[in-house]
Amino acid sequence: MSVDLALARFAMMLRELGIRVTTAELLDATCALAEVGVTDRERVRVALASAMVKDSQQMPAFNRAFDLFFSPPEVLAEYAGKHARALSEKRAELSKASEELLFLGEPVDLTDLQKSTYARLDPEDQERIKEFLDRSTHGKKVGPSFRPLIESIVQGHLDRWRQKLREEGIEVAVPVPETGDLLVDGLLDEIAGMDLDSSFLHRDLGQVRDEDLPYFERVTRELSHRLATRLSRRYRMSRRRAQVDIRRTVRSSISQGGVPFHLKFRARKVQKPRLLLFADISGSMSKYSGFVVQFLLGLASVVDTMEVFLFAEELEHVTELLEPEMGMRQAAEQIMEHSAQWGKGTNLAASLQTFLAEYRSYATSDTVVIIVSDTKTLCLDEAEARLTLLGEMTRDILWLNTLPRQEWDRIPSVGRFSRHVKMFECNTLAHLEGIVRDEVLRYQY
């Protein structure tokens, strides 16, 4: 394999790992190799990294890809062979699910992920799903019109199973997108099973273990502090676009006999946003909400006011319990001590009803509402109607959805609420920082 071809394949592999390598960067990498030679492995690694990776967070992925890709030929052949075998097993697994899960003699419509989940289940659990489909097929007056209902039951069941397996530490792998190159796909398979991200920024906040909490708290505080200090700095507007402040210029020119020697410019007025935070603290949501609350508390200096409401079955106003310097555990302890909602089920409709009845005055035309929730709630119709009303009363509603984006299509409430709010995927600190920086704090200007 020529050096150019090897580099092109390596770039393809990096792209699959989320490292954007442009053609220009690939050319730079080729020139870099020509400069440093290919005899010293570490030197090649550094040269390629400097040309192809432009984000330190991506270094672990790059290093892992480099180690694998530049292995001896026999090792590479082994990876390619392993991938070919895995591919045929996977195909067999998916087709087995399609053959076994039938309704009225036709396969149930499932995603590859759902089929893989089915393959991971114990035989008894698989049998239970098959029995359900069998009973449904042979039920009285069952016709093709039942198909959407039956399919959604099976899909929901498999999604819940996947969640359960995940909680037990069994990760059902999302199929790695295939490039068609057996070697590259084989190496991607190897990488898919590794934990590449040492920074914690991309870890799911719902999966944070108790022993890692101090680290996460520190990172959250740092990110929040960094944003706050960056954005609270006041400065005079650029002269390029500034307006001369005639009054101040004329006043200052008096001492120079009326010659406007020193031009005075209008200072930029920083408008701080007013925030209303609704954090879902039902069951699995409480951890996510804890992080968002802590993050936003750290921004106290760059927002005008921030009112914090927690909700589960009902709504609670907790602003007074929280202080800007509080860590997540402290905030959580305060809330658990005073809140009757911690860990209950979710009823957004009832919570919004309480807000509209008792705290309506907080919702003004310059208020930005932030909702942290996975959208799963009782009384969907009422919740949607009240959300619409809240949207009309306020400037914007930003919904931080903790569900992974690939699951949104399957959850009806996501589609319903998305019509009235700006919805963002938010289950890692990296998501949270990006949303606050790019969405929440832009209301400052």
Partner 1 sequence: MDIAELTLPRLREGFKSQSYIADDDIVVPVYLALKLGKPLLVEGAPGVGKTEIAKVLSGLFGFPLVRLQCYEGLDENKALYEWNYQKQLIRIQIVKDRYDDTQHVEDEIFSDAFLLERPLLRAIRSPRRSVLLIDEVDRTDEQFEAFLFEVLSDFQVSIPEMGTLVARHIPIVVLTSNRSRELSDALKRRCLFLFIDYPSVEKETRILKAKVPEAGDKLAEQVAAAVHRMRSMDNLKKKPSIAESLDWTRGLLAMGASELDAHAVRSTLNLVIKHKDDLSAVLEKGCLCSLMEASRRAER
Name the site residues for partner 1 (rule: CB under 8 A). 20, 22, 24-25, 28, 31-32, 35-36, 42-43, 46-47, 49-51, 53-56, 59, 214-215, 218, 221-222, 226, 230, 233, 235-240, 259-263, 437
* CA pseudo-torsion sign 79, 80, 86, 87: positive
Q: How far is the CB of 35 from partner 1 (least distance, A)?
A: 5
User: Looking at beta carbons only, is 5 or 24 nearer to partner 1?
Assistant: 24
Calculate ∠ Cα 30-35-39, nearest 5°.
Answer: 90
Q: Give the list of residues 6+ apart from residue 109 with CB closer than 8 angstroms, or none.
A: 151, 155
User: Looking at beta carbons only, is 108 or 441 nearer to partner 1?
Assistant: 441
Q: How far is the CB of 21 from partner 1 (least distance, A)?
A: 10
Helical residues (DSSP H) of 168-245, grouped into ranges: 182-192, 213-232
Q: Name the region of 409 (left: φ>0; alpha: ψ -120 to 50; beta: rest).
A: alpha
- Tokens representing residue 372 in the block: 């942290």
Please give the helix or strand (H or E) that residue 91 lies within, else none.
Answer: helix 73-100
The DSSP symbol for 211 reads: G
Q: Give the list of residues 6+ apart from residue 351 with CB closer than 8 angstroms, or none.
A: 278, 309, 311, 312, 313, 314, 315
Q: How far is the CB of 255 from partner 1 (least distance, A)?
A: 14
Q: Give the list of residues 6+ apart from residue 366 with CB closer than 8 angstroms, or none.
A: 273, 274, 395
Query: For the chain, what is the largest distance between any 2 Cα atoms, rounded to a whole number of angstroms?
Result: 100
Q: How far is the CB of 46 from partner 1 (least distance, A)?
A: 4
